[in-house]
Structure 1
C-alpha cells in the first residue's frame, strides 16, 4: 500500500471556508491507498484546477438531488481535477510517466479508474500543458458554449461579461470579439489593472465594479436603445446582475453561468433581485447551463480555440495565474478565488 497525505472535508461550509484554527472545514490527514486493481492508475497531481464550482460541492445547503455532480461528503478528500503523472498503471491504455487529466482530489497520490482519465500529450511549440486547464480547459469550454449555444451571440450584438478577468470571463471576451466579431463587448472586472488587461484581450471597454462610480458608468455606456445590452454572460449574480437587468435590450439573452457573489453566504443572507420585472417587460430570456451538457462537442470547440491561437486571435499571456504551492497550502491557494487576487485561470502548481 501507498501512504499519502490528503485534505479532507471535515465539515461543510456556511460562509468562507477555513483550513486553520478551531473546527476548520478542511483537515490535513495521512492515509493508506488501496492496492491497484486492473484498469486502475496511481497518479500524482502536478497541477490542480481551482474552480468556484467546488464551493457549491461543500455547501451546507447543497441538495444532492439538485446538484449536477454529487456533493463532497464529510470525511472524504476534497474533490478537484488536475493534470497528473502516472506513477503506476494497470491499464493497457496508459503507461507510467504519462500525463493525464484526472479527478485526483486534494491528495498527494490518488487511485483512479483508467476509464475516467484523459491523455494530456505535449502541445508542442513550447506551449505549457497548463493550457489544458485554461485556454483549452473546462472554463474555456464554458465560455465557448455559453456564448455560442446558450446565448447564441451574433456579430450585431452588444455583449456584457462579468468576471471578465477570470478564467471563464477572459475567454468570453476573446470569443465574443475575436471569433464572433460582436459589435461591442463590455467587460466588468475588480480592479483598474484587470480592466486594462481585459481591454487588451479585446473588450471595447472594461469597468471596475469596485469603483464608486461603477453603476453610473455602466448606465452611461448602455444608455439608449442603440446601446442596450443584447447578451449578458453572468459569472457573478448578485447586485451586478440586478443592475444589468435594467440595461438589457428587448428580447435580450442572459447566459447564467455562476453566482460567485453569493457563494460564501447562506441563502437567507444572499443578495436578491429588485429588478425582476425587467425580465417581463423586456421579454428577456435567461438560461442557466452546465458545460458538461455539451461534452460531446468539446473536441470540436477545442479545435476552434487552437485555431484561434494559431491565427493570433487568442491571447494566452496573462491568462493563467499559476501559484507554486506546498501541499500543506492547497486550501490557501484555492481561497484566492474568492478574494479577487487572481487574474485568468487560477492553477495550483504543487512543489
Structure 2
C-alpha cells in the first residue's frame, strides 16, 4: 500500500450551545479531506483504528466557553475534533517507533495523522488486556476512577460510596475499585435501566438504582439510610442536588463530570447548596491530567492490572461498547454517549 498523502477529517464547524446537531443548515461537524504534512524528524504517520468517546469532549466544543476556564485548550472552530485513539504506525522518522507499532495517540477524528513521537504512548501487550482497554479501563478512564475514588474521595473500608453513571466507563470502574480494591463496606450505584443496574451489581455494587424509575427518589433515600460518606459524581444536575441531602457530616464528593448539563444552555442549579455549609461537606473537582503530570500513572495502571489478575476487578467485552463505524458516521457513534446507548466505555472501531 502506498503511503497516504491525504486524510478524511471531521472538522468542528459550528460550536453548539445545546445538543450538537449532525444535520441541517448549521451542523456541528463537517467532513473534509485534507492533505497530510510531510514527515519531519522524530515524527510518525499513524492510522487510527479505535477512537475514544468521552463526555468531556462536549465541554471542549461549547460555544462561548472561556479558554482560561478550561483545563485544556478548547477545540477551535475550523479545527479537527479532538480525540484519543489506538493507532498503528504507518511511517516513522523516529527511533522510538517502527512501522506496525501500536500506539495511543491524539489523532482527533481523522483517519490518518502526523504526530510528534514524544506525544505517543506504546500499547503494552498484557495478557487479558485488549487494545481498546487502553482507551478505557487501563487508560485515562480507569485512571480517573482510580484517582477520584482513592485519592480525591479518600474512600476506604469504613465508607459507603454512592456512584452516579455507574454503568458508564468511569462509573463502572469506580464501583469495582471502591468495592474490590479499597474494600468499602457498601457501594450504591445509579444507572439508566434495570438491565444496566443488574450489570453494575454483578461488578460488586451492593445495590444499583434505576434513576429513570418514578420511585428513584424514594429508592435512593432508602438505599442511603443513615447517610453516606462518599459520593462520586459523574452527572451533576438534579442527582447531585439530591445527593447533597444524603451526605453525612464532613462527607466527601468527588466531582468528576456533569453530563446532565453538557447539552443545555440552561443548566440545572443547586437548591440544596446550604447542605454543604451545614454539614461541612467537601466537594472537590479534579482532572486526571493533574495526576498524570505527577508521573504516577504507570504505577496506578499496574495496580489495576494486578487487581484484574487477582480477580478483584472484571474487564472484558461487557465493560465496553465497541461500535463498528464507517468514518462518515464517527459523530453518530459519539452521540450515543448522550443517549444512554453504551454500557462501560464507548469505543468507535473504524471499518
Cα drift, residue 16 of structure 1: 1.1
Query: Are 1:43 and 1:84, in contact at CA under 8 Å, matched by a contact in 2?
Result: yes
Cα drift, residue 152 of structure 1: 0.6
Match of 1:188 in 2: 190
Match of 2:95 in 1: 92
Match of 2:222 in 1: 220
Cα drift, residue 333 of structure 1: 0.2
Match of 1:83 in 2: 86
In structure 1, C-alpha distance between the alignment counterparts of 2:255 and 2:51, rounded to whole Å: 25
Gaps of 5+ in 1: none
**TM-score, normalised by the number of residues in structure 2:** 0.97
SS in structure 2 of the partner of residue 136 of structure 1? coil
Match of 1:335 in 2: 335
In structure 1, C-alpha distance between the alignment counterparts of 2:130 and 2:299, rounded to whole Å: 21
In structure 1, C-alpha distance between the alignment counterparts of 2:255 and 2:217, rounded to whole Å: 20
Query: Are 2:84 and 2:135, in contact at CA under 8 Å, matched by a contact in 1?
Result: no
Match of 1:284 in 2: 281
In structure 2, C-alpha distance between the alignment counterparts of 1:124 and 1:177, rounded to whole Å: 24
Match of 2:310 in 1: 311
Match of 1:27 in 2: 30
Cα drift, residue 340 of structure 1: 0.5
- Deviating above 4 A after TM superposition, structure 1's stretches of 4 or more consecutive aligned residues are none
**TM-score, normalised by the number of residues in structure 1:** 0.97
Distance 1:102 1:195, change over 3 A: same
Gaps of 5+ in 2: none
In structure 2, C-alpha distance between the alignment counterparts of 1:220 and 1:61, rounded to whole Å: 41
Superposed CA deviations along residues 65-95 of structure 1, whole A, max 9, x for unmatched, are 1110000001111010010001110101110
1:15 and 2:39 matched: no
Match of 1:47 in 2: 50
SS in structure 2 of the partner of residue 346 of structure 1? strand
Superposed CA deviations along residues 103-133 of structure 1, whole A, max 9, x for unmatched, are 10001111111110010032235x3211111
